[in-house]
Amino acid sequence: MSVTPADATTETPTLSGAEIVLRALKEQGVEVIFGYPGGAVLPLYDAIFQQNAIRHILVRHEQAAVHAAEGYARSTGKVGCVLVTSGPGATNAVTGLVDALMDSIPVVCLTGQVPTHLIGNDAFQEADTTGITRPATKHNYLVKRVEDLARTVHEAFYVARAGRPGPVVIDLPKDILIGKGPYTGAPREEHRSYRPQTVPDAGAIREAVAMLKRAARPIAYTGGGVINAGPEASALLAEFIHLTGIPCTNTLMGLGAFPGSDPQFLGMLGMHGTYEANLAMHGCDVMLNVGARFDDRVTGRLDAFAPNSKKIHADIDPSSINKNVKVDVSIVGDAAEVLRALIAAWKADDTQQDRQALSAWWRQIDAWRARDSLRFNQQGTIIKPQYAVRRLYELCRETGRDTFIATEVGQHQMWAAQYFRFEKPNHWMTSGGLGTMGYGLPAAMGVQIAHPDALSIDIAGEASILMNIQEMATLAQYRLPVKVFILNNQYMGMVRQWQELLHGSRYSESYSEALPDFVRLAEAFHGTGLRATCVEELDGVIRRMLETPGPVIADICVDQKENCFPMIPSGAAHNEMILGSGNPDDPVMIIDEETVLV
């Protein structure tokens, strides 16, 4: 952002670079930093030691620092902040940065760097951090002059949150943190080059409304963009869906934007989406996409995706439009602004909706719904993972507490998405785009820091949880009462499922030998460990987990053979879905003939 000396609030150069950074963070509203110290960032840690405005949370691995900042950001709508050292500190953070990039989570990550005169000399703990993180971030900076420090921090926060949010790295050489320089406040003028369009084009909005009003089989498909646009966008989405009477489905990242209990909600769509959501997408004649990106896990085979439909795509990132799927109307703008404009244009347009066609469409959808694609059979004493998630949901609701769910990646993640119902935005943290095992525990930790009195639960698998298990120590240190709910089937379940369905049941390397005793593991980390091995124990364990004040690991031993259905095999179309019959040995391939008709 352009700061001319005339309007910048320059002060006498009495601050060290480290002090400038902290002051700029404070001005940007940062209350918490997730980080891990090291040689190159010692001046910053020294400055942190001498102040109380910003709290530092010491994680046990830099990847976890970024995921914690993501959980913090996603559950608050603020920018998450991370501080790591040079070299391995920065490279360890890369997975978290790419995760935040793929899921559009605003994070600013400060990385230490060797002193400027050593850059390029292969110094101890030197890495080309800006080079490594260039494709891993929305933008990155290497600060080479202490005079640029404050301006760069302010700009980084602007870039992280403006337009489509994302991670930003600021690489800070040690001599820049020690050197003295002026502090400049956040600039008031526009950024020189980065000014994303937030207000949609009125003509495109009118065109979209005209299309939707004339639709016989409309559907709204919304994603994480609605969540990123703030709670107001979710409220406007509900208003628009109710105003128009059309069905609504959410992507994995978009869950919570539309109330899960609303009769117009079809559930999640995509590879493990509901039968009704996917068939309604396949059979629709007009599709309204707000803040989703036609991801391959959502579209399935592209040439068979919603084949007879006109498509409207609203996104704040113009590069998301016409990337995978060619659309008929493109709208660039912030989801809240787009929905507000759609509501106004809908009311202003005199065209009568074809209510008769819409009722016929709903009758068709209700017929699909009647197949009850999330049905499962909880028979016998072995716990079905779906049942465990459903009971967790019901018992959480009984507590009446504000509940946040994070997940790792795999079958348990999909079951959580299917069986936990979200009524509000910002309560669901999951790694959608990158699919990062090890995301959930640190994300739940970041959530708990932001919402100390809420219930923060990580629904995990026994394989994923081991990828960032060291964060149990962080939970203990800060007395964070995060609950880890492990659906333990002793397999990398989703790998096992694909091997069963696509690789002749050759379970190559997907069985976990020598798992730790999770109860004793929890105890070793100063927490509480619980275990349920049969269905009779399940409710008791969940209740105890929810009542226990500190961190808890609940090891839920579930059916090892259970598969996650419905499933659209990779590369198949929405109407080529495998449904569970309630019997895991007998999946049913459905090629729905009705959809050919609609």
Partner 1 sequence: MPGNDKSGFRTATIGVLVENEAGILARVVGLFSGRGYNIDSLTVAPVNEDRRLSRITVVTSGTEMVIEQIKAQLDRLVPVHKVADLTQDGPHVAREMALIKVGGKGEARMEALRLADAFRARVVDATNESFVFEMTGSGEKLDAFIALMRPIGLIEVSRTGVAAISRGTGRLQG
Annotated catalytic sites, by residue? Answer: 62, 124-125, 174, 494
Integer Cα distance of 569 and 105 in angstroms: 28
Integer Cα distance of 553 and 520 in angstroms: 10
Residue (321 or 406) nearer to partner 1, CB: 321
Integer Cα distance of 598 and 592 in angstroms: 11
Tokens 């909600």 locate to 265
Residue (97 or 554) nearer to partner 1, CB: 97
**Ranges within 302-341 binding partner 1 (CB under 8 A):** 317-319, 321-323, 326
Q: Tell the smallest beta-carbon distance from residue 152 to partner 1 (Å).
A: 11
- Tell me which of 48, 159, 484, 558 binds partner 1, using CB under 8 A: 159
Residue (131 or 540) nearer to partner 1, CB: 131
Strands 455-461 and 218-222: unpaired
Residue (139 or 424) nearer to partner 1, CB: 139
Q: How far is residue 404 CA from its own chain's centroid?
A: 12
Dmax (CA) for the chain in angstroms is 76
CB 84 within 8 A of CB 132: no
Q: Tell the smallest beta-carbon distance from residue 299 to partner 1 (Å).
A: 15
| Binding-residue pattern over the window 484 to 523 for partner 1, x denoting contact by CB under 8 A | ----------------------------------------
Integer Cα distance of 252 and 417 in angstroms: 7
Q: Tell the smallest beta-carbon distance from residue 449 to partner 1 (Å).
A: 29
| Binding-residue pattern over the window 182 to 221 for partner 1, x denoting contact by CB under 8 A | ----------xxx-x-------------------------
Q: How far is residue 386 CA from its own chain's centroid?
A: 21
Residue (194 or 511) nearer to partner 1, CB: 194
Residue 543 touching partner 1 (CB under 8 A): no
Nearest Cα neighbor of 329 from 313, 343, 318 is: 313
**Ranges within 98-157 binding partner 1 (CB under 8 A):** 130-131, 134-135, 138-140, 142
Residue (196 or 582) nearer to partner 1, CB: 196
SS3 state of residue 460: strand
CB 478 within 8 A of CB 57: yes
Nearest Cα neighbor of 277 from 259, 291, 298 is: 298
Nearest Cα neighbor of 103 from 31, 166, 28 is: 166
Number of residues interacting with partner 1: please give it, by CB under 8 A: 22
Q: Tell the smallest beta-carbon distance from residue 133 to partner 1 (Å).
A: 11
Q: Tell the smallest beta-carbon distance from residue 142 to partner 1 (Å).
A: 7
SS3 state of residue 341: helix
Q: Tell the smallest beta-carbon distance from residue 313 to partner 1 (Å).
A: 13
Integer Cα distance of 49 and 27 in angstroms: 18
Q: Which residues make up the interface to partner 1 (CB under 8 A)?
A: 130-131, 134-135, 138-140, 142, 159, 163-164, 192-194, 196, 317-319, 321-323, 326
